[in-house]
């Protein structure tokens, strides 16, 4: 392993002090939680369920597909005990915003499961591309180029993928965490697309994908996605593959691409709860109304639209009645 991937002494000690409060290795979501701890994100356990720092002030239940029946009174107690500002979790029964997660059960998956339009792209991509694991040192040096390219193409910002120090920590976390893997599609020996995924029990979670714009015409994305899914079909221990939540901001192109690969959207309610000191304001109906006005005034601002959706979800979660028992399915 290249010496460049070894964190500085101070950095390594901070990672080690992020150890979980109780053993998590055998619990659903353990690999995801450990990965986030190595990134410096906070995680905690409550009633046998793992929670991790997701985006902004939001903590999410782990693994991603786990559905909870957590009533608002229980959520409030959890928020107080662990001193966090907000929670989000999927549920079939509790009130929340209509949402969903992309899932694919890979048993028997092959080209016939792919839409006719995408089959030709996949076949062509597999002819051009070499699919193999990405070495951490290559991910560190070349991956950041793909990150910058992808974020610029999508008009997004994410310091964790373009700041060299933060990116180094990400690569080290991928390398050191059980269950994490990186697969790449190469065009003429050059990394064209990489995908980071996590194996957690019988579930495979596809988490981060970046690609080089100049190589997209070679269908490197199609080839890599299909290669991972067809590989999962050959592993009887893989029950299901997830490919992220439905975007809070509709993305018809991405949604169509995933569905054409064979994914379906498994619906759920997205429950969002703010700390009891914040909820009377941030989860109120008038705050949700104001956020919708802001969204209409600034439709092109990603942060404004996402923030508005979160406040709207919190309002729905708070102002509708729900059951009062904690269970998970």
Residue at 71 is within a domain: no
- Residue of 271, 204, 216 whose CA lies nearest to 244: 204
Residues 6+ apart with CB under 8 A from 236: 107
Residue at 248 is within a domain: yes
Residue at 51 is within a domain: no
Residue 137: domain span: 103-266
All residue ranges of the chain with pLDDT < 70 are 1-26, 321-329
pLDDT of residue 1: 35
Residue linked to tokens 């299901």? 240
pLDDT of residue 329: 41
Q: Considering the chain, what is the average pLDDT of its residues?
A: 88
Q: H or E stretch including 203? A: strand 203-211
Residue at 67 is within a domain: no
Residue at 115 is within a domain: yes
CA distance 46 to 206: 25
Q: H or E stretch including 268? A: strand 264-274
pLDDT of residue 302: 74
HEC secondary structure over 148-200: HHHHHHCCCCCHHHHCHHHHHHHHHHHHHCCCEEEEEEEECCEEEEEEEEEEE
Burial group, residue 149, by CB count within 10 angstroms (0-12, 13-18, 19+)? middle
pTM: 0.86
Tally of domains in the chain: 1
Residue linked to tokens 């048993």? 107
Residue at 189 is within a domain: yes
pLDDT of residue 64: 94
CATH of the domain at 227: 3.40.630.30
pLDDT of residue 10: 37
pLDDT of residue 67: 95
Residue at 4 is within a domain: no
- Residue of 234, 254, 230, 251 whose CA lies nearest to 125: 230
Residue at 288 is within a domain: no
Tokens describing residue 114: 């792919």
pLDDT of residue 316: 93
pLDDT of residue 87: 97
CA distance 246 to 218: 27
């Amino acid at each position: 392993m290249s010496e460049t991937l070894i964190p500085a002494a101070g950095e390594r000690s901070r990672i080690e002090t992020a150890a979980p409060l109780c053993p998590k290795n055998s619990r659903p979501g353990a690999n995801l939680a450990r990965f986030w701890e190595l990134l410096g994100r906070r995680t905690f356990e409550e009633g046998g369920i793992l929670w991790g720092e997701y985006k902004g002030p939001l903590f999410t239940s782990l693994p991603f597909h786990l559905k909870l029946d957590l009533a608002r009174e229980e959520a409030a107690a959890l928020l107080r005990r662990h001193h966090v500002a907000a929670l989000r979790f999927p549920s079939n029964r509790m009130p929340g915003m209509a949402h969903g997660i992309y899932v694919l059960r890979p048993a028997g998956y092959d080209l016939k499961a792919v839409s006719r339009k995408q089959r030709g792209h996949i076949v062509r991509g597999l002819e051009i591309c070499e699919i193999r694991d990405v070495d951490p040192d290559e991910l560190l040096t070349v991956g950041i180029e793909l990150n910058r390219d992808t974020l610029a193409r999508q008009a997004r910002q994410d310091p964790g993928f373009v700041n060299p120090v933060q990116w180094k920590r990400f690569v080290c976390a991928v390398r050191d965490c059980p269950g994490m893997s990186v697969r790449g599609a190469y065009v003429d020996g050059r990394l064209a697309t990489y995908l980071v995924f996590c194996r957690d029990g019988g579930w495979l979670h596809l988490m981060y994908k970046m690609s080089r714009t100049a190589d997209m015409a070679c269908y490197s994305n199609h080839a890599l996605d299909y290669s991972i899914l067809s590989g999962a079909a050959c592993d009887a221990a893989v029950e299901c593959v997830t490919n992220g939540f439905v975007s809070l901001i509709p993305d018809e192109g991405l949604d169509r691409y995933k569905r054409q690969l064979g994914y379906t959207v498994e619906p759920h309610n997205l429950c969002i709860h703010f700390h009891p000191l914040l909820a009377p304001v941030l989860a109120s109906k008038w705050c949700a109304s104001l956020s919708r006005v802001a969204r209409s005034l600034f439709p092109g601002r990603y942060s404004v639209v996402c923030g508005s959706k979160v406040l709207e979800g919190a309002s729905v979660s708070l102002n509708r009645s729900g059951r009062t028992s904690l269970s998970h399915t």
